[in-house]
Structure 1
Amino acid sequence: MTVEEADTLAEQAAQRIEADILGGVLAPDSRLGIAETSARYGVGATPLREALSRLSARGLVNAIGKRGFRVQSISREDLADIVLVRSVLERQAIRLSIAAGDGAWEGAIVGALHQLKRYIAENPRGFGEGEPAFDALHKQFHASLLGACGSPRLLAAFSRLYDEAYRYRRLMMATFKSHSDFVRGHEILAEAAIDRATERAEALVEAHIASTLALVYPDSAGHDA
């Protein structure tokens, strides 16, 4: 096997395991023994170790010495860290996007919002459970707000952090009694961006990101006081 082939196998395995972690198939804190995981995904031990090492670098698994790996746990502290970094990055990104965005950028926001609203109207169960199809449209909308920032690294960092928070968003979606508040919150974000209300858009983005922490851990205000 060439180095290139081994690298491809490792990345393919990493992508499959990542999808199972983010989708909840592999539960938080579950053990990923090399032998068992190798059999489960049909990949050899060497590319599997490389795949798990890559996922460790992405913050999705933890190495547990010679015993293998374990799926990253979920905790208030972990989500709070994601919220903090996302807030810093996305406030800057939306500021840059508003300054540089053109008609195509505005159209992308409107289009992404329309697709999100249409999915919610047609698939209320998918909305309520935070299914992957819904989450992809949700991510597309938030990416559209930042799309004119001009920084590939900012957008890549947004994408990675957004994906890391997927397990928390599934918990968050269960807290919504109806979709109207969720939809209105995204309409307000879109309006602020398109109206070039920079300070308002930044504040809304920060509050929107922080709402995940407040909804998943309702007692978080006590921790932050």
Structure 2
Amino acid sequence: MTEAKAGPELLEEAARSAASGTLSERAAALVEQDILGGHLQPGDRLGIHALSKRYAIGATPLREGLSRLVSRGLISAIGQKGFRVASVSQADLVDITEVRIMIETEALRRSIRDGGDDWEVGILSSLHRLSRSVERDPATMREGSPEFDRLHKAFHRSLLEACGSHRLLRLHDDLYDQAYRYRRTMMSRFGEHGAFLDAHKTLADTILARDVESAVTELAQHLRQTLQIVYGSKDMDAQA
């Protein structure tokens, strides 16, 4: 299955992966593609027999493929009874957001400490590419197009790129992808694209000023925005 791609980009990568690799990898890619494409809805039961017939893949590699997606947070195991598409809920998004804040603020502290000119240039160039793309076609932001989500993820990753830990970056990538279904809802409600770009410019400027505590606070507030827009919550402890 795919590991470090953003939202709609995952759809494209899953489609490519489905054409190659082992049977279990192909099974994971096909199920992932159907989940992200909305063909399999949150809470849907994933029957082995039905999926085996749908994808023309045997039961054993299919189970192996589904197990891969459990670790990605896209599906849940139901004891010995099989699998189900992971539900979406405020509590789940709170959990994703809290863990992202823990991971990304640590990676940001390290990046500010160790990052040099190349790191700063990477942030500015990724922000420029994101801004130019959104300004040319604001609809791509609201629709969460593959190109928009790729550029959006690249910007957020650039902030952490100098952390010196590929594991921290991998955790960032995984959590970013797990939030995709929520982020797609958020982008459709965002409204004026100028506010979106201003928020990202403010984040970049604060980080480039290298005031660690201000940067960490700004990043945490930025990450909470998805929760606030999707669920109208300003309280990270509100999980109703």
TM-score between both structures, scaled by the size of structure 1: 0.90
Match of 1:76 in 2: 90
1:223 and 1:156, CA in 2 relative to 1: closer, same or farther beyond 3 A?
closer
d(CA) in 1 for partners of 2:103, 2:233: 25
Superimposed CA distance per residue, residues 179-221 of structure 1 (whole angstroms, 9 cap, x where no aligned partner): 0111011111111222212211111110011111111111464
Of 23-32 and 101-110, deviating more is: 23-32
Q: Secondary structure at the match of 1:73?
A: coil
Which residue is 2:49 aligned to?
35
Q: Secondary structure at the match of 2:110?
A: helix
Instruction: Give the SS at the match of 2:150.
Output: helix
Give the distance between the partners of 1:125 and 1:40, measured in 2 at CA. Answer: 34
Query: Per-residue displacement from partner, 1:118-158 (whole Å, max 9, x unpaired)?
Result: 22122322210222321121111000000000011110111
In structure 2, the residue matched to 1:93 is 107
Pairing of 1:1-225 with structure 2 (within 5 A): 8-65=22-79, 67-219=81-233, 221=235, 224=238
- The structural deviation recorded for 1:222 is 9.3
User: Contact conserved, 1:22 with 1:163, CA < 8 A, in 2?
Assistant: no
Q: Structure 2 CA distance, aligned partners of 1:127 and 1:24?
A: 19
Mind listing any 5+ residue stretches in structure 1 that lack a counterpart?
Answer: 1-6
Query: RMSD of the alignment, in Å?
Result: 1.9
Counterparts of 2:236 and 2:79, CA distance in 1: 36
Deviates more, 1:26-35 or 1:136-145: 26-35
Structure 1 counterpart of 2:97, one-letter code: V
Change (3 A) 1:193 1:220: closer
User: In 2 relative to 1, CA 31–165 (structure 1 residues): closer, same or farther, beyond 3 Å?
Assistant: same
Identity over the aligned pairs, expressed in percent?
49
